[in-house]
């Protein structure tokens, strides 16, 4: 069986990733990638007829409450504990610009 990838392809992939490989690394990564691609090929040959697609191997249920539309706070309720306000907004110190912050 021929290898699914050759050293020139690995060198091209390394070039795309801006990687410099030594000859030993090139040989090692060629063999490693060949094994990975052979594994993918073995998975592709599996008979999955009748197997339903799934997002997760384990059954998952949401622990969060169901989303329901409900009324929000009034502006007065939202600003009730604000140390300073500039109706109808929270008033905060300037943090951007000249001498205003970090």
**pLDDT, tens digit, for every residue of 26-79?**
999 999 999 999 999 999 999 999 988 888 888 888 788 888 999 999 988 989
Residue 100 scores a pLDDT above 70: no
Distance CA 69, CA 2 (A): 60
CATH architecture of 7-44: Orthogonal Bundle (1.10)
Residue 9 scores a pLDDT above 90: yes
Domain ranges of the chain: 7-44
pTM of the model: 0.49
Classify residue 97 by burial, with Cβ atoms within 10 Å: 0-12, 13-18, 19+. exposed
Nearest to 89 by CA among 101, 100, 74, 79: 79
């Amino acid at each position: 069986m021929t290898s699914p990838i050759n050293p020139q392809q690995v060198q091209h992939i390394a070039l795309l990733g801006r990687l410099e490989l030594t000859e030993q690394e090139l040989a090692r990564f060629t063999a490693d990638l060949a094994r990975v691609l052979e594994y993918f090929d073995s998975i592709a040959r599996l008979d999955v007829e009748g197997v339903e697609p799934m997002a997760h191997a384990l059954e998952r249920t949401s622990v969060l409450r169901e989303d329901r539309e409900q009324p929000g706070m009034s502006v007065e309720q939202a600003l009730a504990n604000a140390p300073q306000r500039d109706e109808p907004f929270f008033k905060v110190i300037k943090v951007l610009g000249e001498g205003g912050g970090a």
